[in-house]
Amino acid sequence: MLMRSGKAKPPSIRGRLVQSLLWISIVFGLLTSVVVWYVIAHEMGELMDQELREAAEIFHSVMAIQPDLATHGQSATKHFSYEEHLVWQVVDAPSGRVKSRSHKAPERALQTTPTEAIAWTQDGQWRAFTSVFSQRPGQFLVVAQSRTERDEAHAEVVGYTLMAALSMGLLSALLMNWRIRQELDPLAALGQGVQHYDPLRPDTAPKAVPRQELLPIEQAIGDLGHRLAQRIISERAFTSHAAHALRTPVAGIDVQLALAIKEAPESIRPRLVRARDAAGRLGRVMQALLMVFRSGMEPQRQDVDLRQLIDALVFHDMVISIHQATPVNADPDLLAAALLNLLDNSHRFNAHHVTITALQEGPDTVLRVQDDGDGCQPHTKARLQQSLQQQAYGEGSAMRGLGLVLADLVARAHGGHTVLPDSASGFGIELRWPAATTRSAG
């Protein structure tokens, strides 16, 4: 069933689940990064401090073997373009001056006095370790690492962890989306099965893919369809019997009223005429109901001669013109029931001439009924058209009689619909349904 226009599209279960998985992946990645930042920050600090200490020991051993490196300026005569993760200085303790340093080490001493433990410099920008030369007690070695370098190492660890966590999360979301699609396919198939389910035809009952969650739904739909079918069968039988039982008494009432009109005084004849008209209309309703329930709303298609069909029906003194430009393939009983009520509506609204036209428009057969009666206001016609589109036949809708409802039901039984076209005068209605050749080809 198509959604009614103007209503917002309901949220999708699959879309909501995928959106939730995506947000969970993002939050998981962020939380993982925060945890990594706090958990391994301490371990990373210890590892870098250990690296600092071991580098200092290496530098100290080399400079102890080659004292010239510590006393004759920089250790290299040429500056190479490379990233120096550690810097070193040889500081003269009494004067606090730098005796020798690496290329990227600052010119001022990072530490003016040796310390036993690794510590931050006074400006907080360097993590330094000092080692005193045993041969030269007045000098000591400083090996340091900048805060920028340490922060960059922390950031790389967190960044790579975040990227890995988000990548795994997004990959998991894609895999879960694929699995969700697969698991929701049986639900979509069940929905399509319900859409084509006819309770009066048990062979059309929806069959769901075996899933524990869908079995109760399938059983509930089957039980509901069975109860609905029983109710429809009972109502059809009752209405058919009631219409058949009322047909003979109504015909007798019409005969008696005809005789009474001839014998009655002139003063009461208008009332008797109105009573006979009402009885005649009741008879035509009974006839239409008999036709509908004889066919059971299941169209038994055959080529219909509109003139022969109309002549077989009993109407008022309206002039009925028929223009059949194309073969009409339809159920004659259903079509007769619809036309009977539409023509009765035209008579009730003071029509004297009705034109019935059958033509072909594209793949559709169009049966148009146009009268010259009172018609209706544009806003009323718009409400009627909306009720027909939405199949709103009950209380609160614009529908007030059986004619339009029955015509729409007959058109839909043939796989079509009804349209209320604009007309300069009177009232018009079109019954449209796919032609027989189109249906068989499909």
- Nearest partner of 87 among 103, 63, 69, 67, judged by Cα: 103
Question: What is the span of the domain harbouring residue 103?
Answer: 16-77+84-156
Q: Estimate to the nearest angstrom the gap between the alpha carbon of 52 and the chain centroid.
A: 60
Q: Residues 101-130: what's their mean pLDDT?
A: 85
Q: Is the pLDDT of residue 428 over 90?
A: yes
Q: Is the pLDDT of residue 11 over 70?
A: yes
Contact 93, 140 (CB under 8 A): yes
Residue 139 lies in a domain: yes
CATH code for position 382: 3.30.565.10
DSSP letter at 269 equals H
Given this model, what pLDDT does residue 194 score? Answer: 85
Residue 9 lies in a domain: no
Given this model, what pLDDT does residue 432 score? Answer: 94
The confidence band for 372, taking pLDDT boundaries of 50, 70 and 90, is very high
Are 266 and 326 in a shared domain?
no
3-state helix, strand, coil in the chain (%, to 5): 55, 15, 30
Are 433 and 389 in a shared domain?
yes
Tens digit of pLDDT for each residue in 29-85?
Answer: 777 777 777 777 667 777 777 888 888 788 777 776 666 655 555 544 445 454 567
Q: What is the mean pLDDT of the chain?
A: 79
Residue 35 lies in a domain: yes
Which amino acid belongs to residue 305? Answer: D
Are 431 and 305 in a shared domain?
yes
Two structure tokens written together for 11: 């949220």
Lowest-pLDDT range of 252-256, 337-341, 421-425, 434-438: 434-438
379, β-bridge pairs: none
Q: Is the pLDDT of residue 306 over 80?
A: yes
User: Which of the listed residues 257, 280, 296 is the one where a domain comes to its end?
Assistant: 296
- Nearest partner of 387 among 414, 410, 409, 361, judged by Cα: 409
Tens digit of pLDDT for each residue in 356-368?
Answer: 999 999 899 999 9
Are 324 and 259 in a shared domain?
no
Q: Is the pLDDT of residue 440 over 50?
A: no
Tens digit of pLDDT for each residue in 129-178?
Answer: 888 887 777 888 888 888 888 888 878 877 787 787 778 777 877 888 78
User: Which of the listed residues 250, 280, 296 is the one where a domain comes to its end?
Assistant: 296
| DSSP-derived 3-state class of residue 429 | strand
Are 112 and 211 in a shared domain?
no
Q: Is the pLDDT of residue 221 over 90?
A: no
The more confident residue out of 441 and 387 is: 387
Given this model, what pLDDT does residue 67 score? Answer: 63
The more confident residue out of 395 and 279 is: 279
| Share of residues in the chain with pLDDT > 90 (%) | 9
The confidence band for 321, taking pLDDT boundaries of 50, 70 and 90, is very high
User: Which of the listed residues 102, 128, 156 is the one where a domain comes to its end?
Assistant: 156
Residue 183 lies in a domain: no
Given this model, what pLDDT does residue 108 score? Answer: 87
Beta carbons within 8 Å of 99's beta carbon, 6+ residues apart? 70, 71, 90, 91, 92, 139
pTM higher than the cut 0.85? no
Q: Is the pLDDT of residue 382 over 70?
A: yes
Contact 115, 130 (CB under 8 A): yes
Are 431 and 327 in a shared domain?
yes
Q: Estimate to the nearest angstrom the gap between the alpha carbon of 71 and the chain centroid.
A: 79
The more confident residue out of 419 and 180 is: 419
Residue 370 lies in a domain: yes
The more confident residue out of 407 and 72 is: 407
Lowest-pLDDT range of 59-68, 131-140, 202-211, 386-395: 59-68
Two structure tokens written together for 12: 């999708």
Beta carbons within 8 Å of 164's beta carbon, 6+ residues apart? none
Are 96 and 228 in a shared domain?
no
Number of domains in the chain: 3
DSSP letter at 394 equals S
Q: Using DSSP bridges, classify how beta strands 139-146 and 97-101 pair: parallel, antiparallel or unpaired.
A: unpaired
Are 320 and 423 in a shared domain?
yes
Are 316 and 442 in a shared domain?
yes
The confidence band for 5, taking pLDDT boundaries of 50, 70 and 90, is very low
Are 255 and 363 in a shared domain?
no
Alpha-carbon distance of 1 to 337, in angstroms, equals: 26
Are 321 and 292 in a shared domain?
no
Residue 189 lies in a domain: no
Residue 282 lies in a domain: yes
Lowest-pLDDT range of 207-216, 232-241, 250-259, 263-272: 232-241
Are 334 and 231 in a shared domain?
no
| Share of residues in the chain with pLDDT > 70 (%) | 81
Residue 1 lies in a domain: no
CATH code for position 269: 1.10.287
Given this model, what pLDDT does residue 420 score? Answer: 92
Alpha-carbon distance of 411 to 392, in angstroms, equals: 15
